[in-house]
Structures are given as structure tokens and as C-alpha cells.
């Protein structure tokens, strides 16, 4: 398993992921089981499915993804046991109209035609998903609950050097109430990607082979290149072997940490952050 990018970049976009258990062994991730088979296969008119797609994107897409394959806060509906057992809305309909407030889902007052169209779209997506094989591409909260809080706290205060810049009673106090699940993990790995205000961009000095020094602010960098906005506001890019550069970046520690985390470290620190309420 890749040491550093188990939930980085696409954040669990691949199927069949193996997660680390709290005891340190390997256990099947919730992403790996196959979708439940549809109990009663159904077909719907193409026009109804298209209408349902538009209504679903408007009413449901922000949580479940526009394709019903799951979003940041809502589960993948093509993997739902309720959807698998549904027959033309007999189970989906009551949930849509009543909501599941305890799980953050509001009630929706859809007319019969709109509700039938949404059901048609969900069932059509489920039928398509069953032909794809593999696991899902979205993230459930359960995917992230494989770390050990105590081990994460030790890493935070020790090998990870996190305590040099952060404090559980200071800047991180209550962070788990502001960010949950995938959003909290993104905040941990890529602080600039989630939440406001964003930290100030790093200051960069690029020294060219000619000796000329170009100052600017950091746009992005990786092991291959660096991109800055120079003092005139122009965006400029160099390969890392074309020039020397120094960076004063408040996010440098996070950038460097991505190359040091083991999978266990990453999940353990995440478990610790979840306890900071």
C-alpha cells in the first residue's frame, strides 16, 4: 500500500481499498464490498430518467453527488439496501418526503411526477453501477474510522512535529465541530483547500543560473516544478532543476509531512483531531 497517499489527492477515488484497523492489522474497507443486487429489476422511460436527473441534481446532488454515487456529506445511493429493495418509489418516496433529520437529510415536498422521475433516475444509476463492478468511488465516514486516537496524539506531539505550530487548546480547539469526516481530513492534509480565511501565500525567491533573483508569492509547487506570481503580477513557472529557490511558506510543514506519513500515522492523527471538540 502507498505510504503517503492512501486518502490523498482523489481522497479514496479508487475501489477496493484496504484500510488499516486500530489494532494495526489489515481489514477490508467499507469501500470494497459489492453493491447489493436490485431485488426487483425495473425499467423507466428515457424522458422520465432525464427529468429525474435534472431534479436530482437540483434537490439532492449537493449531498449525494449529481450522479447519485455519493458526495462529501451524503452516501452513495447505488449502494443503498433501501434502494435495492425499492419498487417504483415504495421505499425511496417515504424517505424523500419525511427526510432523515437525525442524519442531516431534510424532507422534500416533491409532487408525484417529480418524485417518480427522481426514483427513475436513482434506479437507472443503480442498474448502471451494477454493470461496472468494483467498489464505490465515494467516501463514507466509516472509511475514515480506522485510526487510534492515543497513537495520533503521540504522533502529533512527537514524530509529526505538529505541536510546533498547532495547539489542541489554541488554533485547533473545537476543529472537529467545524469540520467533519472527509472535510476534516482534507483540512488536515491540505489546509488551503478547505475553510476560510486562507493562509497567506508563501514568499519565494528564485535564483536563476545567471544570478538574477526573482521574488514573488507561491502559487504551487511539487517535486517537478514551482509556480509563482512575481512582483509585477505575472505568473511564472520553473522546473525545479532549472533554478534555485527558497520558500517562506506557512504551509511548508504540511507539504513536507505528506512525504512522511505512513497510512497508520495519517489515520491516527485524524482520529486524534476528531476528538478535539
> Residue 138: which pLDDT band, with cuts at 50, 70 and 90?
low
Task: DSSP for 8-77, please give it.
Answer: STTSS-SSSPEEEPTTSSEEE-TTSSPPPPPSS-----HHHHHHHHHHHHHHTHHHH-TTSS--SSS--G
CATH number belonging to domain 46-130: 1.10.760.10
* 102-111, Cβ contacts within 8 angstroms, sequence gap of 24 or more: 104/63, 104/73, 105/63, 105/74, 108/59, 110/55, 110/59
Rounded to whole angstroms, what are the CA distances from 266 to 139, 146, 150, 160, 260?
Answer: 16, 10, 13, 10, 10
* 22 pLDDT higher than 70: no
Q: Each residue of 181-219: pLDDT tens digit?
A: 888 888 888 776 555 455 667 789 999 999 999 999 888
Residues with Cβ < 8 Å from 57, sequence gap 6 or more? 66
* 168 pLDDT higher than 70: yes
The pLDDT of residue 26 is 40
Q: Would you give the distance in Å from CA 210 to the centre of its chain?
A: 43
User: One fold for both 46-130 and 203-249?
Assistant: no
Q: Each residue of 54-68: pLDDT tens digit?
A: 999 888 988 888 889
Mean pLDDT over the full length of the chain: 80
Q: Each residue of 69-78: pLDDT tens digit?
A: 888 778 889 9
In the chain, domain spans: 46-130, 203-249
> What's the CA gap between 205 and 251, in Å, rounded?
16
Q: pTM to 2 decimals?
A: 0.44
CATH architecture of the domain covering 203-249: Roll (2.30)
Q: Tell me the residue length of the chain.
A: 277
> What's the CA gap between 27 and 18, in Å, rounded?
6
20-34 core/surface letters (b: 16 or more CB in 10 A; e: else) = bebeeeeeebbbeee
The pLDDT of residue 4 is 39
- For the chain, percent of residues with pLDDT exceeding 90: 39
Amino acid at each position: 500500500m502507498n505510504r503517503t497517499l492512501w486518502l490523498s489527492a482523489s481522497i479514496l477515488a479508487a475501489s477496493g481499498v484496504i484500510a488499516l484497523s486500530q489494532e494495526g492489522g489489515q481489514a477490508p474497507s467499507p469501500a470494497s464490498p459489492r453493491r447489493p443486487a436490485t431485488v426487483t429489476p425495473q425499467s423507466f422511460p428515457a424522458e422520465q430518467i432525464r427529468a429525474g436527473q435534472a431534479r436530482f441534481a437540483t434537490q439532492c446532488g449537493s449531498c449525494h453527488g449529481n450522479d447519485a454515487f455519493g458526495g462529501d456529506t451524503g452516501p452513495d445511493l447505488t449502494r443503498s439496501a433501501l434502494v435495492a429493495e425499492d419498487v417504483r418509489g415504495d421505499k425511496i418516496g417515504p424517505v424523500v418526503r419525511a427526510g432523515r433529520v437525525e442524519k442531516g437529510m431534510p424532507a422534500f415536498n416533491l409532487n408525484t411526477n417529480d418524485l417518480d422521475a427522481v426514483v427513475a433516475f436513482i434506479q437507472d444509476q443503480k442498474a448502471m453501477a451494477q454493470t461496472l463492478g468494483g467498489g464505490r468511488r465515494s467516501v463514507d465516514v466509516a472509511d475514515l474510522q480506522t485510526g487510534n486516537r492515543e497513537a495520533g496524539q503521540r504522533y502529533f506531539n512527537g514524530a509529526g512535529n505538529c505541536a510546533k505550530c498547532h495547539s489542541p487548546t489554541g488554533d485547533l480547539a473545537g476543529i472537529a465541530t467545524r469540520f467533519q469526516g472527509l472535510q476534516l481530513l482534507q483540512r488536515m492534509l491540505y489546509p488551503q483547500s478547505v475553510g476560510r480565511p486562507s493562509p497567506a501565500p508563501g514568499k519565494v525567491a528564485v535564483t536563476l543560473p545567471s544570478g538574477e533573483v526573482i521574488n514573488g508569492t507561491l502559487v504551487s509547487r511539487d517535486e517537478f516544478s514551482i509556480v509563482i506570481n512575481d512582483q509585477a503580477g505575472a505568473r511564472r513557472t520553473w522546473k525545479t532543476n532549472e533554478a534555485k529557490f527558497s520558500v517562506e511558506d506557512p504551509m511548508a510543514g504540511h507539504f513536507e509531512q505528506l512525504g512522511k506519513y505512513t497510512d497508520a500515522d495519517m489515520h491516527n492523527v485524524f482520529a486524534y483531531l476528531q476528538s478535539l471538540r
